[in-house]
Homo-oligomer: A and B are copies of this chain.
Amino acid sequence: MKNQILTSKELNELKNDLPLWQIQDSKLIRDFHFKNFIEAFAFITKVAIIAESMGHHPDWYNSYSYVQIKLASHDLGGISNYDIELAHKINDIE
């Protein structure tokens, strides 16, 4: 399936589809807290492998046991169906 920006209708449905993710500045954002750095980094490693397999990568930030993931399709200027797919895959591994 081609990567394309979500319609307003699809964006409105995200609240139900991905309740753990916030929409800010045209990005899907989720915060993760782990018990220590090693658990946080193992999670990061899983996301890295999944992202490269999809050919679609997150922006992310890590500080010790805290990870923030931001999903957006920079080339399309907003949230796309690939971002939704990656968000679901990240939910599944967490």
List chain A positions with a Cβ less than 8 A from chain B. 37-39, 41-46, 48-53, 57, 59-64, 93
Residues of chain B within 8 A (CB-CB) of A44 are 44
In Å, the complex CA distance between A8 and B41 comes to 34
- What CA separation (Å) do A38 and B47 show in the bound complex? 9
Q: Does B51 contact A37, Cβ atoms closer than 8 Å?
A: yes
Provide a sorted-by-A list of 29 A–B residue pairs whose CB atoms are within 8 angstroms. Answer: A37-B48, A37-B51, A38-B49, A38-B50, A38-B52, A38-B93, A39-B46, A41-B45, A41-B49, A41-B52, A42-B42, A42-B43, A42-B45, A42-B46, A44-B44, A45-B45, A48-B49, A49-B49, A49-B52, A50-B52, A52-B52, A57-B63, A57-B64, A59-B61, A59-B62, A59-B63, A60-B61, A60-B62, A61-B62
